[in-house]
């Protein structure tokens, strides 16, 4: 079973760019999973941000698509998230997760990282 | 987008109780429905996938049923570690969406 771990700054200034990385350990990234990012504002529900395949193919949530880029570096067993033009509404815990078995379920999750957007 | 609703929003229960949480999708999603629970400060954990399949390592007191638009999660005998927030999630189409959650507490 793979393990995932998010990393990145915990504080980003408004209008800046949020950048996070997820390292995948205990397995290869080219075993059929899609690698995804999700987020959860404090005290609120979960939102799927988007996903990347090991080949580099991506899908994004239309609500965020204009500001989000997800990329993969298979040689380093990691994938990344960038969100541009952030506002306080982007303050959230950000999770990386694997989407497995024909993109049917999020079966492995990182512990999450809390990112504040504030000046 | 497919909207997911859950009921009840919260419930109070005791150890040993049988509880049921319901989830409804705004469109037919066949059996593409997953259940997770989440404890404060932790990541969600997959419990049930494709409506009724038990994820490896999850206790058999958890069960799921339903299809198309209406689904249920049942815990047959609530244990202390089960007090958490429960979310349903559809994987029928993107954007993948979650229900608002059901908080189960004492």
pLDDT tens for residues A93-104? 999 999 987 878
Non-local (6+) Cβ contacts of A55 within 8 A are none
B10-45 pLDDT, tens digit per residue, is 999 999 999 999 999 999 999 999 999 999 999 999
pLDDT tens digits, one per residue of A17-75: 999 999 999 988 988 899 999 999 999 999 999 999 999 999 999 999 999 999 999 99
Tokens standing for B74?
Answer: 């049942």
pLDDT at B77: 96
Q: What does the alpha-carbon distance between residue A24 and residue B20 come to, in Å, rounded to a whole number?
A: 35
Å from B49 to nearest chain A CA?
7
Rounded (to 5) percent helix, strand, coil in chain A:
10, 50, 40
At B17 the pLDDT is 96
> Which residues in chain A have their CB less than 8 angstroms from residue B50's CB?
104-105
R_g of chain A computed on alpha carbons: 13
- The answer to whether the Cβ–Cβ distance between A45 and B89 falls below 8 Å is no
Nearest-Cα distance to chain A for B23, in Å, is: 15
The sheet carrying A68-73 orders its strands as A3-7, A18-25, A78-83, A68-73
- Smallest Cβ distance to A109: which of B34, B44, B87? B44
């Amino acid at each position: 079973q793979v393990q995932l771990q998010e990393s990145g700054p915990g504080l980003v200034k408004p209008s800046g760019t949020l950048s996070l990385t997820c390292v995948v350990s205990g397995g290869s990234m080219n075993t059929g999973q899609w690698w995804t990012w999700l987020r959860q504002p404090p005290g609120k529900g979960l939102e799927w941000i988007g996903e990347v395949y090991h080949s580099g193919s991506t899908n994004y949530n239309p609500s965020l698509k204009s500001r989000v880029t997800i990329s993969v570096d298979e040689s380093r067993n990691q994938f990344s998230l960038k969100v541009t033009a952030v506002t306080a509404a982007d303050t959230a815990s950000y999770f990386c997760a694997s989407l497995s078995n024909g993109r049917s379920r999020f079966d492995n999750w990182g512990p999450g990282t809390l990112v504040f957007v504030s000046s | 987008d497919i909207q997911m609703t859950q009921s009840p929003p919260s419930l109070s229960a005791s150890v040993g109780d049988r509880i049921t949480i319901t989830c409804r999708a705004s469109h037919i999603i066949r059996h593409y429905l997953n259940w997770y629970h989440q404890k404060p400060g932790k990541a969600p954990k997959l419990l049930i996938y494709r409506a009724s399949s038990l994820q490896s390592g999850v206790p058999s007191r958890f069960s799921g049923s339903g299809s198309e638009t209406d689904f249920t999660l049942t815990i047959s005998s609530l244990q202390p570690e089960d007090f958490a927030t429960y979310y349903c999630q559809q994987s029928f189409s993107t954007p993948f969406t979650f229900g608002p959650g059901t908080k189960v507490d004492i």
